[in-house]
Structure 1
């Protein structure tokens, strides 16, 4: 019940965020949406966010039901290679692991990573492959204290290993539709803050405290 009230409150702020935000970009940045296991459906926050981002592409996997780090990260790398200019990865669950792996193999191409509810690498026996994947770009790990796919301590460990900022959403489950995360203005704010670290201040015009580098 508390989560539903929070969603309604955040949704009420969405028009203000849109009206108060303007960006003038000198460098084209591509947003890559990287879903997790089974993809992200119409009611998922990634789909909601995708509809509100400029220059956005969703990474598609050949087999959404079989998480394979090598194959999934190859798809992310291919999307990075197709993009013009810097790339911002917006990933969820196992998609976070594929994104970290791809970013490590494409230094200089990825400008930032937003990693939401990453799956535990050890659960998929891939920890050894990404444990040295410290990220050299602005990154955030958005985690929950009751995520069934990764303990909060685990999320804190990997955020530190990756050199990423850790954001604690509290008891937010797997930060997916089942936990009430469809429309997610807070996620838009987190991404905007991340984008502000990628684009120099001279690259955009700010009209609000959120300073979103996103328009719709």
Structure 2
């Protein structure tokens, strides 16, 4: 793993959290300086509570942070970015957004509809969005639309499902390539602005 001491990683799980066999849990163990956002209620998520927990985690440490979000976690990041202070937004070096959940879809689980509407403002930090051609939570067309609205670089994987345990993504070593791509993009932008 690439050792970066001045940046911390923050795992932002989706609905129902990320179990031990989920790639987010594996990444948390192998990435240096990595923690996760814990929510009080993983089963009945409330938008404002999830945003507040994300904000508290970012505010708790002065160091720059890279967000690693999955599913509803991606939507939480977008909601947080749309209302966060400039000071906290400046701490975020980038966000890896994996399999964002389309909480506006017709068959969206009732527990998630309070996260709609999905913010359409560009994210004020670099982001990479990874979707899938057969993700039940957001089809490829919607994932590309989110990426365009948020200003994210986008990759749509073929037949990768929801990029979670059910779709066979346990360690997901392949994903590190996009994380490092994001960091390189972020580092270039940060050096230009410094």
With normalisation by structure 2, the TM-score equals 0.85
Are positions 1:116 and 2:98 aligned together?
yes
Which among 133, 137, 140 is matched to residue 128 of structure 2?
140
Q: CA deviation at 1:52?
A: 1.2
Which among 165, 181, 185 is matched to residue 193 of structure 1?
181
Q: CA deviation at 1:100?
A: 1.7
Structure whose CA Rg is larger: 1
Asked if the contact 1:117–1:147 (Cα under 8 Å) also holds between the matched residues in 2, the reply is yes
Which among 75, 85, 96 is matched to residue 63 of structure 2?
85
Q: Whole-Å Cα distance in 1 between the matches of residues 126 and 49 of structure 2? A: 25
Q: 1:34 aligns to what?
A: 12
Asked if the contact 1:93–1:116 (Cα under 8 Å) also holds between the matched residues in 2, the reply is yes
Are positions 1:67 and 2:55 aligned together?
no
With normalisation by structure 1, the TM-score equals 0.77
After TM superposition, the structure 1 stretch with the greater mean CA deviation from structure 2, 104-113 or 81-90, is 104-113
List aligned pairs for 1:151-162, cutoff 5 A: 151-162=139-150
Root-mean-square deviation over aligned CA pairs: 2.0
- Secondary structure of the 2:184 match is helix
Unaligned 5+ segments in structure 1 are 1-17, 204-216
Corresponding residue pairs, total: 180
Q: Deviations over 1:80-130 (max 9, x none)?
A: 0012221111010101111122233142121100010010031425343x4
Asked if the contact 1:67–1:94 (Cα under 8 Å) also holds between the matched residues in 2, the reply is no
